[in-house]
Amino acid sequence: MGFIGAHGVETLKRYKYSGQDHSVVAKYVLQPFWSRCVTLFPLWMPITLTGFSFLVVSALLGYIYSPHLDTAPPRWVHLAHGLLLFLYQTFDAVDGKQARRTSSSSPLGELFDHGCDALACAFEALALGSTLMCGRLTFYFWVVAAVPFYLATWEHFFTNTLVLPLINGPTEGLMLIYVSHLFTFLTGAEWWAQDFRKSLPFFSWIPLPFISDTEIPLYVIVLILMIVGAVVPTIRSNISNVRKVVEARNGSMALALAMLIPFIALLGGVVVWDLLSPSDIMRNQPHLLVIGTGFNFGYLVSLVFLCFPIANALIAKINDGTPLVDELVLLLLYCAYTVGLYLHLAVSVVHEIKDALGIYCFRITRKEA
């Protein structure tokens, strides 16, 4: 058995999901709403895949109306972004309830949901990029989503429980984003792209040394606040929780942290490629870069491909800006390579799990023994 192995099959048969959501908003507002929503869905409906498709449509709208994510799309696009993200959040929350409703909960369903959520980071980052008109910084908004996601998965590996704190990304984070989309429907995307003192006039009354003559788009302030207020505290919490488990087992924290190296290498490789890029790929092709890296993030095995575009960019530096291979071609190959590898992984693992557990994918009826 290719990816899972005999030991993995036995573990799958014993596996039970364990999760805690401490969000007050989820407990008292969203959970009752989701519990009512699940009764509206037909039993045969593939809720997880349908919910994921909403974000694909949202990213596609961003590409059609703002190819470089630095021009304002029509305002109805922001309304669509907000509604599609709300639907994604609802479907993502309801799929587990649907599985329990149909007595079809399984590790396969959880893995499929988790895989879609990993890719969702990239597609929603692209939708947000078109709303904020943040251009090349869209990649870093993807990083802001991907870092907590990866570290939460890393923590889950050690603790066997997915814990969502009082304020968390899947609940309050997504709510803030779709409220921002809906707000932009009223103001226009230019509100985020202009100097923050124009968008928020009360800041112009406050003396701000060192930046008084510098124009800083509001989306830059948003990115900084997300990093300082959400990403950094999450990283500290994840590392602290893993440390407790590792120390209780007399394990090595260095080995635990080494599991983060592939992700760090992915981020570093893409940033180096961008810094050396003769065609400024992050500005001119943000969709291809984020989608390719998003699928790479879902797999984290295709890091070796990044060696080729980095070497190509280095050649351009010493060859009067002329690369050996056109960067757009390399970027298309990067996307095709990472998407192909991810789909191969997904299809292979789905087949292995359904055969091991005697179940079908996208069907409720259990196989006969």
Sign of the dihedral defined by the CA atoms of residues 57, 61, 64, 70, in that order: negative
Give the ranges where 160-259 is alpha helix by DSSP (H).
174-187, 190-193, 196-199, 218-226, 232-248, 253-258
Sign of the dihedral defined by the CA atoms of residues 35, 298, 338, 263, in that order: positive
Gap between the Cα atoms of 290 and 284, Å rounded: 12
The catalytic residue among 68, 81, 114, 344 is 114
The CA-atom distances, in angstroms, between 113 and each of 39, 106, 229, 346, 350 are: 20, 11, 27, 11, 12
For the record, the structure tokens of 97 come out as: 């309830």
Q: Do the beta carbons of residue 303 and residue 265 sit within 8 Å?
A: yes
The CA-atom distances, in angstroms, between 108 and each of 113, 156, 199, 356, 369 are: 9, 17, 46, 10, 18
Gap between the Cα atoms of 349 and 160, Å rounded: 20
Instruction: Fill in the amino acid letter for 48.
Output: T
Annotation says 22 is catalytic: no
Catalytic residue annotation: 114
